[in-house]
Structure 1
Amino acid sequence: MNLEELQKTFGADTVTFRKGPGEFTTVIIDNGAAEAEICLHGAHLMKFVPAGAVPVLWMSKSSWFEPNRPIRGGVPICWPYFGAAADPALPAHGFARLSEWNLAEIDSSEKGMTRVALTLSPADVTAVPVPFPFELRMEFVIGKVLQMTLTMKNCSDSEQIITDALHTYFNVKSAGAITISGLDGVSYEDRVVGAKVFGGVQDGDIRIDREVDRVYLDTADAVEIHDPGYDRTILVEKFGSESTVVWNPWIRKSQAMPDFGDDEYHTMVCIEAVNAAKDRRILAPGATHVISQKITLK
């Protein structure tokens, strides 16, 4: 659909459409409780700002906005695998974030609340060969609180092993000043050292003073980002996930990534709801799995 058709079919006083960077179609939401922007490329939430607040999500000023390439920042959807592919010729984090999704429905009937649902099928994937038939549905509920839910279905006639993530980038005033609570006593893999390397057990709050790339294991607990610079706490809850990733690329890795500004690591941290490591999901034929993340300012 073109913009006029989208507005006629899905638009409302609180919902409009525009061509954003890269000429990607973008859903614009302003419902009084919050503002948000969702790009159909990757079903990618690029903006969430509760009324009167500093933006909750971080976006890189160096991000690509090109077909079959990922957007850097916001909430990338990693699926059907998280991290590097077994085949080095395939893109990291799967094809969901590289594909153009379909707008399925928008419900803005409730004051201060907007629900947006998008879908992806094999026919929509052009970046890589599709390994098996599937159905994906991504739903955002935009209000004072943000709720994101990814539903996946295995439409093949064999079991499929899935790893996935809602790879959420959070905007912080200074990464070196924040503390992250909720993972004390949790074991983790340290991906800075190497894939699947046991990193130890978290002792107290997490501080960002170097490159951090950790998969925290056997945890469904909520995490809080305490940000004194913005005088706020971000509560990050999740469901359908028993692993949590905390990531900040720090100096050297930031400089090595062409779609990430050299100094931007100071203003972001990723807290990700993940099915990875031993939390991978095995979907039987016809089976579904749901992973979601809920974000609240305190």
Structure 2
Amino acid sequence: MNIDDLNENFGVEGEVCFMELEGDLPFITVTNKYAEADICLYGAQITGFRPAGTTDVLWMSPYSVFEVGKAIRGGIPVCFPWFGPHAENADFPQHGFARTSMWQVLEVKTLEKGETSVALQLNNSAQTQKFWPHEFAAKMIFIIGKSLSVTLEVSNTSTHEFSYTAALHSYFNLSGVENISIEGLENTSYENQLDGKRYTQEERLLGISEAITRHYFNTTADCVITDPYFNRNIRIAKEGSKCSTVWNPWAATCKQMSDVPNNAYETFVCLETVNNINDKIVLAPGQSHGTTAIISIE
């Protein structure tokens, strides 16, 4: 559908509008009494969530490339059907194909208390089967209200079992990375991707002062990012996930990344809702699984 057709079929006057924004890609803009949000149909990627009275909760790179075939840097990219590099073929796209696919609008509605619900869908195609030879139906469901709920729901529509890994790769906007602390990971085991070893975090609060890529496993706990200079706590609750990833590339890696400023690491942290390590999802034919991140400001 073109933009006019999308507005005619799914627009809600004064609340939901479709328009071409960055790179002429189709976006959904949501404005309700609780918040504003921007969702790109390319990648089913939310790029902005602005609750009333606070600055954007999500971080977006000012150098992000909004171009079909390339990933959008920031917001909440959807990693599916694998998280990280492909296990067997390094030439396959990093983090799967969902974040570089065009999704279709399934439903837009206003909920009873005034929240806005947006559902997008992606089904298997000849293009997806070049990378992943399975029949599936994926949905991304966004509920924009006082909090932001983001769900990746995957259904196995094939005649055989399959497994996948996934992540809601959330970038959070910070006053400064060295100002913040993360609560919720005390006494949790993690895999340090930078040295390949496993450890247990003993500290109650995690601070960040260098490059970090930690995959915490066997955890369903809420995490809270405390940012005193923005005078807010960001709570990330989750459902359908037993792993959480904390990532910040730091200075040296940022300088090697073409789609972020050299100092980008100072203003974001990724705290991701993940299915990986010992939480890979296995679906029999007809089964479904939902992975949800619920983001709120305190």
Q: Place the TM-score, normalised by the shorter chain, in its bin.
A: over 0.9
Deviations 1:159-190 (A, max 9, x none): 21211000110001000110000000101000
SS in 2 for 1:138: strand
Quote the Cα distance in structure 1 between the aligned partners of 2:249 and 2:262: 10
Distance change >3 Å, CA 124–CA 4, structure 1 → 2: farther
Q: Which runs of 5+ in 1 are unaligned?
A: none
Q: Partners of 2:110 and 2:155 in 1: how far apart?
A: 26
Partner of 1:208: 208
Residue type at the aligned position of 2:135: P
Question: Deviation at 1:109?
Answer: 5.0
How far apart are residue 283 of structure 1 and its match? 1.4
Provide the residue aligned with 1:131 in structure 2. 133
Partner residue, 2:158: 156
Partner SS for 2:125: helix
Asked whether the equivalents of residues 106 and 115 of structure 1 are also in contact (C-alpha less than 8 Å), the reply is yes
- Per-residue CA distance 1:181-206 (angstroms, 9 max, x = gap): 00001010001113xx2133342211
The answer on whether the counterparts of 1:37 and 1:48 sit within 8 Å (CA) in structure 2 is yes
Task: Check 1:28–1:122 CA distance in 2 against 1; reply closer, same or farther (3 A cut).
Answer: same
2:85 is aligned to 84
1:7-59 superposed Cα distances (whole Å, 9 cap, x missing partner):
11111121111101111100011112100000000000000000111110000
Name the CA distance, whole Å, in 1 between partners of 2:152 and 2:68.
22
Shift of 1:111: 5.2
1:175-190 correspondence runs (5 A): 175-190=177-192
SS of alignment partner, residue 123 of structure 1: coil
For residues 150 and 254 of structure 1, what CA distance do their matches in structure 2 show? 28
Residues of 1 paired with 2:97 and 2:188: CA distance?
A: 30
The yes-or-no answer on 1:19 pairing with 2:20 is yes
TM-score w.r.t. the length of structure 1 is 0.96
Give 2:248's aligned residue.
248
Deviation at 1:291, TM superposition (A): 0.6
Q: Tell whether the 8 Å contact from 1:149 to 1:290 is kept in structure 2 after alignment.
A: yes
Aligned to 1:31: 32
Offset, 1:256: 1.2
In percent, how many aligned pairs have the same letter? 40
How has the CA–CA distance of structure 1 residues 111 and 204 changed in structure 2, closer, same or farther, with 3 Å as cutoff?
Answer: closer
Contact 1:100–1:125 (8 Å) recurs in 2: no
SS at match of 1:170: strand
Find the counterpart in structure 1 of residue 4 from structure 2: 4
Q: Cα RMSD (Å) of the superposition?
A: 1.4
2:171 touches 2:270 (CA, 8 Å); kept in 1? Answer: yes
**Which residue matches 1:168?**
170
- Call closer, same or farther: CA 1:247–1:127 in 2, change over 3 Å: farther
Paired amino acid for 2:292: S
Residues in 1 aligned to 2:52 and 2:264: alpha-carbon distance in whole angstroms: 25
Q: Is contact 1:99-1:127 (8 Å) kept? A: no
Q: 2:111 and 2:162 mapped to 1: Cα distance?
A: 38
Contact 1:24 1:40 in 2 (8 A): yes
Counterpart code for 1:271: L
State the partner residue of 2:286: 286
Count of paired positions: 296
Query: Residue 154 of structure 1: CA displacement?
Result: 1.7
TM-score (norm 2): 0.96
Change (3 A) 1:54 1:135: same
